[in-house]
């Protein structure tokens, strides 16, 4: 699915809808978000978290790599930003695999290309493209 959003709120709404759809259909727990700085990844994730029922404000984890939020019944939502990562070794140190192997977790990953070789096959990919000041092209690829 590919759509063009005309402002940040539309991008948030799209993220919110994806979260609700994934919960309903028991889809993959890893959502990879690709795109340049400022293309809307964090904005999308803010909506995604809302779709999971998280009411806390979602701040960008760029400097701390990972933020964790609780939702539902003993479930956890992780927002990862690997911008400062160099390689898969760092991911191992952080125990990222353990995070996505736990089916009670949902992960959104900004800059997943940093760990391309270890990403699980079963995942959703969302690609962001800057079109204009407030326009973004967003492509969502689920595995069905
Ligand atoms: P990234 O995480 O990809 O670096 P952010 O979501 O942090 O990007 O930043 C996107 C910026 O662009 C925000 O300031 C947001 O308000 C703005 N923006 C303007 N139009 C849009 C849009 N259509 N979708 C997403 N963000 C938008
Ligand atoms: Mg970001």
pLDDT in tens, 95-116: 888 999 999 999 999 999 999 9
- Residue 49 Cα, ligand 1 centroid: separation in angstroms? 16
Mean pLDDT of the chain: 92
Q: Pick the closest to residue 60 from 106, 129, 97, 111 (CA basis).
A: 111
Between the CA of 40 and the centroid of ligand 1 the distance, in Å, is: 4
**Are 110 and 82 a contacting pair, CB within 8 Å?**
yes
Nearest-angstrom CA–CA distance, 137 and 36: 12
pLDDT tens-digit profile of 132-142? 999 999 999 98
pTM over 0.85: yes
Q: What is the 3-state secondary structure (H, E, C) of 42-57?
A: HHHHHHHHHHCCCCCC
Confidence band, pLDDT 50/70/90 cuts, at residue 90: confident
Question: Whole-angstrom Cα distance, residue 93 to residue 80?
Answer: 14
Segment 55-65 mean pLDDT: 78
Which residues keep their CB under 5 angstroms from ion ligand 2? Answer: 41-42, 60, 110
């Amino acid at each position: 699915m590919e759509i063009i959003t005309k402002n940040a709120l539309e991008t948030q709404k799209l993220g919110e809808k994806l979260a609700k759809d994934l919960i309903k259909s028991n889809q993959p727990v890893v959502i990879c978000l690709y795109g340049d700085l400022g293309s809307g990844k964090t904005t999308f994730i803010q909506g995604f978290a809302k779709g999971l029922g998280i009411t806390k404000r979602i701040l960008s984890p760029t400097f701390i790599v990972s933020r964790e939020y609780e939702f539902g019944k003993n479930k956890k939502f992780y927002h990862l930003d690997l911008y400062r990562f160099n390689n898969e070794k760092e991911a191992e140190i952080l125990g990222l695999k353990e995070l996505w192997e736990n089916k009670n977790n949902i992960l959104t990953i900004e800059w997943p290309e940093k760990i391309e070789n270890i990403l699980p096959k079963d995942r959703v990919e969302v690609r962001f493209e800057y079109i204009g000041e407030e326009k973004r092209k967003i492509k969502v690829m689920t595995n069905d």
